Structure 1
Amino acid sequence: MILSSILSDGMVLQRNEKVGIWGKAGAGQAIQIGFNGKKYDTFADPAGDWRIDLDETEPGGPFEMIISAGGEASVIRNILVGDVWVLGGQSNMELPVRRTLDLLADEVKDVHLPWIRQFSMPISYNFHAPQSDLPGGGWIAATSEDVLNFSAAGFFFAKEIYERHQVPVGLILTAVGGTPIEAWISEGSLRRIGGYEDILEQCKDDQYVIAAKAADEERSNAWHAHLNNTDLGLKEGWYNESWDTADWQDFELPGSWADAGLEHVRGSVWFRKEIELPESMTEGDARLKLGTVVDADDTYINGVCIDNTGYRYPPRRYSIPAGLLKPGNNTITVRVISTHNTGAFVKDMPYRLLACGQEMDLTGVWKYRVGAITGVMQQQTFFHYKPAGVYNGMISPLRHYRIKGALWYQGEANTDHPAGYSKLFEALVADWRGQWGIGEFPFIFTQLANLGEEDDSQSNWAELREEQRKGLQIPGTAMAVTIDIGEYNDLHPQDKKTVGQRLALGAHKLAYGKDGLVHSGPMFKEMELTGDGARLRFDHTGSGLVAKGGGELKGFAVCGPDGVFVPARAVISGDTVLVTHDFIKQPVQVRYAWANNPAQANLYNREGLPASPFSTG
């Protein structure tokens, strides 16, 4: 008898619904299930497939389930019955709690919430057909160390749901960093939308996929081998504690390689700093916070490599082995590897040594020397990014597992080409609802956070946010606005607590019948031209519109017939906003928070929820 890996110890079953249990056995074998004092039975079909639907069950647990077939019995232990939510998307949904500890360590310290569980889907893709079998995975509970492996957004969402409704919460994490939305949509829907036919056919060629992956691996291995073989720092041992840096140059950390005229260097650059430590900082636990490094790093203390990271996004938070630090002079050496980006120690990140309750600031002048110069490393193919692949491999296998609803946190990978995202999102929601076949279950999604410098003129993120806002036209959806909780210098902002809380507001409204709840910030509804400007009306104004922090509204712009947008005055008038400009009396279009990082935007409702960016055109 074979059971899906999701039907395993610690699972959470959907309450108050007929829940399917399925598997494979010998053709015609009798199958029996014992659960919650009831007995169920069926027979496997000629292909060995079987399914039993359990009666509706009230929330609670833990329970045991015994499944028998042909004299073989399997016992599934520690089962809870509650609400099950699917977590889909890319890296900001996948981002684990352990990546948020700079901000949220106190929130998860000594967590013991065994009624919150998570099942993580291993990365799997298929370009031929929707799959039935799960590639593995297991359930964990939100206790002690395991909570650090939860999706951070998912955990804080589940915590809100559990605390308000006192029912177990199961999360199914099926998210993959870097994936565009097309990867999570069915082949049929993509063909109806059009434009994906060639890549869909190409990826069906197994020999092409195998050859491309082999070429990727060979190219990567060759690039790194060339780098390591030519890196003078490795050959001479620049990481050694006693290495003389008298002929090295100065570098102000944090900063970009461009600041030192190294913007065209691809390869390795070595950085060193000597620090003086008191004895009181050498006798206990120690940790190095090295901000974020572009692209990769090997980090040494006193000649010993303490850790490394192979790509640009994770924050460098390295534990220092006991006994490595010593009173007096210590040396920190960082070998920074640039594969295809201009290298950098990202600004406005923590660069500190923490030991025995004390801190040492590591910013300022370091020494640097180029170790090796290579060509740009060509990027991998990343087949899990390709259209329909993870839909077939990571969504389709879940279709028999009954759920309450879905959360979606994705969009960053589509910002280069935002046009048409709303159409793709509509197809995705329809595909997922079609897979589970339980009607228009709640689908709650996150709008892109703020990112980049405030004065950056780019607006592709704003354009994609507008496409996301259009998704609210789909019945049974809600959107969490996050333009106020991002980090200008980090694609993966750490405040996933607020994200989870705002997603939970949408769930309270859609899934739990809290009709009087204000679950959203103001959403643009319509524009009316007045004698001297435009009056904007909004949904979800709650108990009133406010300018957060007081003062004037910011973030509004208007254009006339020439299509050139200029900043405009905006004032709150009841539940509307009146937008005016001295020289544009009849605006053609109004925009709000229309920037990659609309840091000045401050329209909220009194419940503290931000207005969504929008364009009236």
Structure 2
Amino acid sequence: MDGAKYLWSDPDTNYTAWKEMDIPQLWESAGLAGLDGVVWFAHEFQLDPQDVLNDLEIHLGQIDDNDIAWINGFKIGETQGYNLHRAYHVAKDQLKTGRNIVVVRVEDTGGGGGIYGEAADMYVKLSEKKIALSGSWRFRIGKGDFSSTVGPNSMPSLLYNAMIHPLIPYGIKGAIWYQGESNTSRAYQYRTTFPLLINNWREDWGLGAFPFFFVQLANFMAPSVQPEQSAWAELREAQSLTLSLPNTGMATAIDIGEANDIHPRNKQEVGRRLALNAIRVAYHQDVVASGPSYNAMQIEGNRAMISFDHIGSGLYLKDKYGYVNGFAIAGRDKVFRWARAQIMGDQVMVWSDMVAEPVAVRYAWGNNPDDVNLYNLEGLPAVPFRTDNWPGITVNERYR
């Protein structure tokens, strides 16, 4: 190792003094919002005497962006690239009967960072069995060795001056915007910057409030196991709030994303939903272009009754479970718990036996809400929402 740079790969490090984080997830969702840099992770697992007689493989799923991995102080591999599955070979002479320590140094150069993906992709592969590596890991923020995390395309005004401004003399009917993933770490700021962009383009073109349509962030990363704080959910909320501008429309994609690919493959459905918005806004035809969106909440005992706009011909359960999935409910303690939910005409009734006096409801609130199934009869998914306005994890994050 080159000096103190990789000192924490030493298995004699006191990892019990480090904090804990449930893995897999982006660290922005675990209290490290806005952190671009290096975080070290450590996890121990047990091997029986027969397990150390042969080589094995360590699978870590996907890591954003780059990593170096060790086991018991031996370097076993490194990878650069946020969307690549990590699988590292471990020689049998690097193993020990009993306690083994895997250490991963993760470097994030911008946007989300951490060991993410699906829990099923994290395991020790032995000849006859697998040992799960998902769950609680120890972590500690390290020192990065890069002088700047800003690439050329991230420099303020570069993309606008190079790619947008030259188009301004030409007439346009409208614009479609498909972006937001790289802004999730400062999602609250997007509430301001995104409307500013739209208004700026409209002012520059001088064509009035031309139609502007955008795609809400798709579900991505490991499915939500428990109700969670989520920078991705906060960015989706910022996009929904932008619908307050005139002549705008949003294609919700919360049901067509992929856990392991930030770029969903089903672009045909994304395009169809954008087209519905164009037909409604730009061409003034009476079509349903949005799924159900939150309107109001009424508390009745330990039940919350949720009313919606844009229900089209009615609410529809795209049934896989026999109940509406994706709702969470909280009392005054602000602790959200998974809720039961049932369609009641044009409303959804939400409750949990663990919340006697509900004050807030959230729907599809997470990086990757698992199997959301509330739609309207036109086949458009309900828009993720929350009824509370409690400060989120990106409220104080700014561009740096």
TM-score, length-scaled by structure 2: 0.63
Give the match's secondary structure for 1:526: strand
Counterpart in 1 of 2:394?
none
When residues 606 and 264 of structure 1 are mapped into structure 2, their CA distance, relative to the original with a 3 A threshold, is: farther
When residues 343 and 476 of structure 1 are mapped into structure 2, their CA distance, relative to the original with a 3 A threshold, is: closer
Counterpart in 1 of 2:311?
541
Counterpart in 1 of 2:168?
399
Counterpart in 1 of 2:182?
413
Q: CA deviation at 1:346?
A: 7.8
Give the match's secondary structure for 2:188: coil
User: 1:544 and 1:263 mapped to 2: Cα distance?
Assistant: 58
Structure 2 residue runs without a partner (length 5+): 1-53, 86-104, 128-142, 389-400
**Where in structure 2 are the equivalents of 1:416-495 lying within 5 Å?**
416-454=185-223, 455=225, 457-495=228-266
Work out whether 1:251 is the aligned partner of 2:57: yes
1:228-255 per-residue CA deviation (whole Å, 9 max, x = no partner) reads xxxxxxxxxxxxxxxxxxxx95436785
Q: CA deviation at 1:387?
A: 2.7
Counterpart in 2 of 1:236?
none
Work out whether 1:593 is the aligned partner of 2:375: no
- Structure showing greater radius of gyration is 1
Counterpart in 2 of 1:77?
none
User: 2:368 and 2:347 mapped to 1: Cα distance?
Assistant: 24
User: 2:118 and 2:188 mapped to 1: Cα distance?
Assistant: 31
Determine if contact 1:339/1:377 at 8 Å carries over to the other structure.
no
User: 1:597 and 1:442 mapped to 2: Cα distance?
Assistant: 29
Determine if contact 1:449/1:485 at 8 Å carries over to the other structure.
yes
When residues 347 and 427 of structure 1 are mapped into structure 2, their CA distance, relative to the original with a 3 A threshold, is: closer
User: 1:414 and 1:547 mapped to 2: Cα distance?
Assistant: 32
Q: CA deviation at 1:394?
A: 2.0
User: 1:345 and 1:567 mapped to 2: Cα distance?
Assistant: 22
Determine if contact 1:263/1:343 at 8 Å carries over to the other structure.
no
Work out whether 1:571 is the aligned partner of 2:342: yes
When residues 509 and 415 of structure 1 are mapped into structure 2, their CA distance, relative to the original with a 3 A threshold, is: same
Determine if contact 1:252/1:364 at 8 Å carries over to the other structure.
no
When residues 435 and 263 of structure 1 are mapped into structure 2, their CA distance, relative to the original with a 3 A threshold, is: farther
When residues 609 and 364 of structure 1 are mapped into structure 2, their CA distance, relative to the original with a 3 A threshold, is: farther
When residues 254 and 508 of structure 1 are mapped into structure 2, their CA distance, relative to the original with a 3 A threshold, is: same
User: 2:344 and 2:196 mapped to 1: Cα distance?
Assistant: 38
Query: Which residue identity does 2:385 align to in structure 1?
Result: F
**Where in structure 2 are the equivalents of 1:90-239 lying within 5 Å?**
none
When residues 580 and 312 of structure 1 are mapped into structure 2, their CA distance, relative to the original with a 3 A threshold, is: closer
Percentage of identical aligned residues = 44
**Where in structure 2 are the equivalents of 1:255-274 lying within 5 Å?**
261=70, 269=77
Counterpart in 2 of 1:529?
299
Give the match's secondary structure for 1:251: strand
Counterpart in 1 of 2:289?
519
Query: Which residue identity does 1:491 align to in structure 2?
Result: I
1:200-231 per-residue CA deviation (whole Å, 9 max, x = no partner) reads xxxxxxxxxxxxxxxxxxxxxxxxxxxxxxxx
1:106-152 per-residue CA deviation (whole Å, 9 max, x = no partner) reads xxxxxxxxxxxxxxxxxxxxxxxxxxxxxxxxxxxxxxxxxxxxxxx
Query: Which residue identity does 1:575 align to in structure 2?
Result: D
Determine if contact 2:219/2:258 at 8 Å carries over to the other structure.
yes
User: In the alignment, which of 273, 277, 285 is matched to residue 502 of structure 1?
Assistant: 273
Determine if contact 1:447/1:468 at 8 Å carries over to the other structure.
yes
1:384-420 per-residue CA deviation (whole Å, 9 max, x = no partner) reads 2133332233222211111111011111111112113
When residues 348 and 468 of structure 1 are mapped into structure 2, their CA distance, relative to the original with a 3 A threshold, is: same
User: 1:482 and 1:544 mapped to 2: Cα distance?
Assistant: 20
User: 1:563 and 1:381 mapped to 2: Cα distance?
Assistant: 36
User: In the alignment, which of 382, 388, 403 is matched to residue 151 of structure 2?
Assistant: 382
Determine if contact 1:253/1:364 at 8 Å carries over to the other structure.
no
User: 1:346 and 1:587 mapped to 2: Cα distance?
Assistant: 32
User: 2:352 and 2:338 mapped to 1: Cα distance?
Assistant: 8
User: 2:351 and 2:116 mapped to 1: Cα distance?
Assistant: 43
User: 1:591 and 1:422 mapped to 2: Cα distance?
Assistant: 19
1:497-542 per-residue CA deviation (whole Å, 9 max, x = no partner) reads 2111111111111112221x11111111111222442211111111
User: In the alignment, which of 542, 545, 554 is matched to residue 325 of structure 2?
Assistant: 554
When residues 418 and 549 of structure 1 are mapped into structure 2, their CA distance, relative to the original with a 3 A threshold, is: same
When residues 567 and 440 of structure 1 are mapped into structure 2, their CA distance, relative to the original with a 3 A threshold, is: same
Query: Which residue identity does 2:248 align to in structure 1?
Result: T
1:59-99 per-residue CA deviation (whole Å, 9 max, x = no partner) reads xxxxxxxxxxxxxxxxxxxxxxxxxxxxxxxxxxxxxxxxx
Q: CA deviation at 1:580?
A: 2.3
When residues 340 and 582 of structure 1 are mapped into structure 2, their CA distance, relative to the original with a 3 A threshold, is: closer
When residues 428 and 344 of structure 1 are mapped into structure 2, their CA distance, relative to the original with a 3 A threshold, is: closer
Query: Which residue identity does 1:581 align to in structure 2?
Result: S
Counterpart in 2 of 1:94?
none
Q: CA deviation at 1:344?
A: 9.7
1:416-466 per-residue CA deviation (whole Å, 9 max, x = no partner) reads 121131221111110011111111111111111111212274511111111
TM-score, length-scaled by structure 1: 0.42
Give the match's secondary structure for 1:527: strand
- Paired residues in the alignment total 288
When residues 573 and 390 of structure 1 are mapped into structure 2, their CA distance, relative to the original with a 3 A threshold, is: same
Determine if contact 1:527/1:537 at 8 Å carries over to the other structure.
yes
When residues 396 and 263 of structure 1 are mapped into structure 2, their CA distance, relative to the original with a 3 A threshold, is: farther
Determine if contact 1:502/1:519 at 8 Å carries over to the other structure.
yes
